[in-house]
Structures are given as C-alpha cells and as structure tokens.
Amino acid sequence: MSLIEQVKELRSRTGVGYGACKEALVQTDGDIEKAIDVLRANGADVSLARQERKTEQGAIGSYIHTGGQLGALVELRCETDFTAKTKEFQEFAADLAMQVVAMDPKWIDISDIPTEVVEREKTVLYKESVRTGKPDHIIAKIVDGRMIRFYKKFCFLHQPFIKNEDVSVQENLNCLVSAFGEQIVIAKYVRFQIGD
C-alpha cells in the first residue's frame, strides 16, 4: 500500500487531517495501528473511539431519478434517535442515495473489495505499465496512482461527493461525525434500475 493510500486509510479511520496522518505514518514507517496511537498521544481528536459505539439508530435515504427508471436506498446509521431525526442527517442520507444512483459504487470501502479483485486489477495495471518501458520503481508508482483512481471510482466512501467533488464521501461523513459527536456509518445500500 502506498503512502497516499495509507494516509487515506488512516484519515477514514480517524477523521484526522491529511498532514497529521502523513506525519504519523512517516514516524511509524507506515504502520497504521501505531500511527493511530501516535495521533492519540499527540492529542488529536481521533474518532476511532466512536467506532466502538453501537449504531442502532438512523435513517433510510432514498432517491428516484427523473423518469422513475433508476433509484437507490441507503441505510445511514448513527447512535441516537436525536441525530437520526435532524434535517442534516436526513438530507445527507438522501444525498448518499443520489450518489449511489449517479456513481454506482460497487463496495462501501477499500477493505470490502475481495482480495482477488484487487490483485487482478493490479496485475492488469502492471502489465499495461510495463509497456511504457519505464523503470520498475516508476511502474510501481504508476500502478499505485491508478489503483487510487480505481478506489475512487468503485468505493463509495472514496468517491468524490456528488454535491462537492472537491471532497470525498468519507470527508463529508467525517464532518457529520464531528458535528454530532457520535459514530455515523453507511451500513448498506442498493441501486435499482429498470431492466437490471
């Protein structure tokens, strides 16, 4: 896993900013678990503790595209009924359903992708990159960069957010987690299309 991928993974697990995550990973030679400890020791507001809490409340976000041929449902979970009923939470759940319709993610997060799919993609990208005739260390960087694009295309949390493509779905989710001070997760989703 490249440093960029490690930083993204650490950010998605902790909600801490890019610079602090990168510094912690460099300090721990890329060990994510040790990097989390470093962030906590440095006083970062690590949302990791929130991951231990149960998310038994939430909302179902829905979106039907114009014409009624395409739609999606998303189960967004949180800890309290109070949060689930807020306008911000409900709107985010609906936005996520719109995201599913528009972007058609295949998995929620990188960790959900079957290992054989990741390995197959890396093999194909490696073979494509070898044809460029570049040195192996450059080819490795090319493959890492293309894998990041693969994750952004197919992993729900890593996709650019449909309403603001400068940030990812995960970054928007982290903002909601910070605002409400509780764990919020995308539990599952389904996309429907007439004829599929």
Highest mean pLDDT among 49-58, 78-87, 91-100, 139-148: 91-100
Highest mean pLDDT among 6-10, 19-23, 121-125: 121-125
DSSP letters for 3-45: HHHHHHHHHHHH---HHHHHHHHHHTTT-HHHHHHHHHHTT--
d(CA 88, CA 177): 11
More confident: 77 or 52: 77
Indicate the average pLDDT of the chain: 87
Q: Residue 3's pLDDT band (boundaries 50, 70, 90)?
A: confident
What domains does the chain contain, in order, with CATH numbers? 3-46 (1.10.8.10), 51-109+155-193 (3.30.479.20), 114-152 (1.10.286)
pTM of the model: 0.69
pLDDT at 120 over 90: yes
What is the pLDDT averaged over residues 138-159? Answer: 91
What is the pLDDT averaged over residues 44-55? Answer: 60
Q: Which sign does the torsion angle of CA 110, 111, 116, 119 carry?
A: positive
